[in-house]
Amino acid sequence: MSKLKWIEKLDDVVETAPVCLDWDDLLAINKLVGRNIQTKEDLLAALKQATSISVNGVEVTLEPGLVTRLKSRCIRQDFDKFLHDRVIEWAHSFVGW
């Protein structure tokens, strides 16, 4: 196969690939999740960790939009502490103080 044909074929593959990340994309993701992503398994684990909380051993996966909205309301506080306090607040309001 000629080099030109191979490049055309590669363009077809890239256009139909679900997601293609370049180096800058990967660096941005590493910064967002606070760890180095080297494999697709690393990426999936980081995304799951970023959208999941565990309450008394029960894992709850939050919608990414919900996580973003929660973070927007976390002002001058560590997000983990903020989320911890909101879960306790919700549980108390649900069952009563």
89: confidence class by pLDDT, cuts 50, 70, 90: very high
Q: Lowest mean pLDDT: which of 2-11, 24-33, 61-70?
A: 2-11
CB contact at 8 A, 52 and 18: no
Report the mean per-residue pLDDT for the chain.
Answer: 82
> pLDDT, tens digit, for every residue of 21-57?
788 888 998 888 888 988 889 988 888 887 888 888 8
Provide the residue ranges of all domains of the chain, joining segments of one domain with +.
3-95
pLDDT of residue 11: 58
Radius of gyration of the chain (CA): 20
Q: Which helix (H) or strand (E) holds 37?
A: none
Give the CA angle between residues 58, 63, 66 to the nearest 5°.
105
What would the mean pLDDT of 59-88 be, rounded to a whole number? 88
